[in-house]
Chains A and B, each alone.
Chain A
Amino acid sequence: MKTSDTLVALAVQFTALSLVAFGGANAVIPEMHRQAVDVNHWMTNQDFAALFAIAQAAPGPNFLVTTLIGWKAAGLAGALVATAAMCGPSCLLTFWVARAWDRYRETAWRSAIGAGLAPVTVGFVCSSAFVLVRAADTGWKLAIVTAASAGVAYFTKLNPLWCLLAAGILGVLGLLA
């Protein structure tokens, strides 16, 4: 694929994802994975897991995996196109809706939309978890790390960065390969 074709593909895909990413970027991870790994072959399953890990470990909002997918597919231009496409459309929509929103503060349909989208969003985030676990856990030691991180994050208020740090150290020491 030519670079310009790749850039167009990135722009189209992430614009669409921007407008369906109810619940934020975590809900559309499965679709990013499907496009980047299965459909366009921009990267392997392992690359995807690694890029997601880098995005999680970096400071800032959690949509940054988008930037890295764009970068892996088409370099710096790809990173900028993917980021702009992921944020731009939803930002414009938010800017426009925020002006109208206060008027409808107490209406029933507004809360029905929120309540109705919630279970679908949760189903998508569960799918994200499924896709990422399958990409990341290539051995039983890694599966234990996943389970331990999930347990710590679910049952304690510890900053999740400690889980990433501990897992990274275990990895560097060669205990997970």
Chain B
Amino acid sequence: MTDRPTAGAPTPTAWALFVTFFTIALSGFGGTLPFARRTLVERKAWLTPEDFTETLSLCQTLPGPNIVNMSIVVGARACGWRGSVAASVGLVGAPVIIVIVLGMLYSRFGALGMVRHALLGLGASASGLIVATAARMAEPLLRGRPWLAAPFILVAFAAVAILRLPLPYVLVVLGPLSIAAAWSWKRNRA
């Protein structure tokens, strides 16, 4: 990473990475990505807006939680593997502890009428939020290249949701086919 145009941008220390990603994790109710962008690009200026988009697309192409991947990349660029460890532990540590405590409360009090009723409502709402996420992800694909995208969306959905096939197998079969289709489509347009 010697040739990155980082003139003027401060290089964070491992401790600064830990604290910053810790803050991002705890302010990120209902999704951390908007907070990550605000902090890394606007407040800290560790990344330019272009850097952020580029890094995000890398993190979205790779498997795993996107924001965790981003902490790895940002940490690595700042100070190698120590930066990656500091940033990712900062991001994941506190939320994991919080959620374990909530899980304990659930097993202790989950059977109480009031808690059960609250969780019914929360669960219904949370599933609705994922419906919206799915719709927002599908929309640009169906607008941009419907004949290329729709068959793969439908087959992946049918295989996993209806037929309940193991997801890794579905990905191993459909992924290469879809990449090949995207590849030939791009070549035909070029």
A residues bordering B, Cβ < 8 Å?
Answer: 16-31, 34, 38, 49-64, 67-68, 71-72, 76, 79, 83, 86-87, 89-91, 93-95, 97-99, 101-102, 105, 108-133, 135-138, 142-143, 145-154, 159-161, 163-164, 166-172, 174, 176-177
Q: Are A91 and B164 in contact (CB under 8 A)?
A: no
The 8 Å CB contact of A112, one of B31, B81, B183, is: B183
Chain B residues in 8 Å Cβ range of A19 = 63-64
Chain B residue numbers with a CB within 8 Å of A61 are: 25, 28, 32, 65, 67-68, 91-92, 95
Which of these, A20, A112, A149, A177, contacts B132 with CB under 8 Å? A149
If A59-B25, A153-B129 touch, does A113 touch B99 (CB 8 Å cutoff)? no
B124 touches A176 (CB 8 A): yes
Q: In chain B between 97 and 145, which residues have their CB closer than 8 angstroms to a CB of chain A?
A: 98-100, 102-103, 106-107, 110, 114, 117-138, 141
Nearest Cβ in chain B — how far from A6, in angstroms? Answer: 16
Number of interface residues of B (CB under 8 A): 96
Task: Return the contact of B126 from the options A28, A57, A89, A115 (Cβ within 8 A).
Answer: A57
Interface of B, helix, strand, loop or mixed by DSSP:
helix
Query: Which of B60, B88, B102, B129: most chain A Cβ within 10 A?
Result: B129
A73 to B88 alpha-carbon distance, docked (Å): 25
In the bound assembly, the distance between CA atoms of A125 and B127 in angstroms comes to 11
A59 to B95 Cα, complex, angstroms: 6
Q: A-B pairs with CB below 8 Å: how many?
A: 371
Residues of A within 8 A of B133 (CB): 26, 125, 129, 153
Selected contact of B152 from candidates A59, A60, A123, A135, CB within 8 Å: A123
Report yes or no: B64 in contact with A54, Cβ–Cβ below 8 A: no
| Pairwise interchain contact B68-A133, C-beta atoms closer than 8 A | no
A60 touching B25 by the CB < 8 A rule?
yes
Closest to A154 in B: B132
Which residue from B92, B128, B134, B170 sits with its C-beta under 8 Å from A83?
Answer: B92
Given contacts A21-B64, A109-B183, whether A166 and B106 have CB atoms under 8 Å apart is no
Contact code string B67-85 (vs A, CB < 8 Å = 1, else 0): 1110011001100010010
B118 touches A55 (CB 8 A): no
Partner of B64, one of A59, A94, A163, A172: A94
Residues of chain B touching chain A, judged by Cβ–Cβ distance below 8 Å, are: 1, 4, 25-32, 54, 57-69, 72-73, 76-77, 81, 84, 88, 91-92, 94-96, 98-100, 102-103, 106-107, 110, 114, 117-138, 141, 148-150, 152-157, 160-161, 164, 166-168, 170-171, 174-175, 178-183, 186-187, 190
A contact residues around B128 at 8 Å (CB): 133, 145-151, 153, 163
The residues of B that contact A20 with a CB separation of less than 8 Å are: 63, 167-168, 171
For this complex, 12 residue pairs linking A to B, each with C-beta atoms less than 8 Å apart, are A24-B65, A28-B167, A61-B67, A61-B92, A76-B100, A94-B73, A112-B179, A119-B148, A135-B123, A146-B124, A150-B132, A171-B117
Are A120's CB and B124's CB within 8 A? Answer: no
Known contacts A72-B103, A122-B134, A123-B157; is A22 also within 8 Å of B179 by CB? no
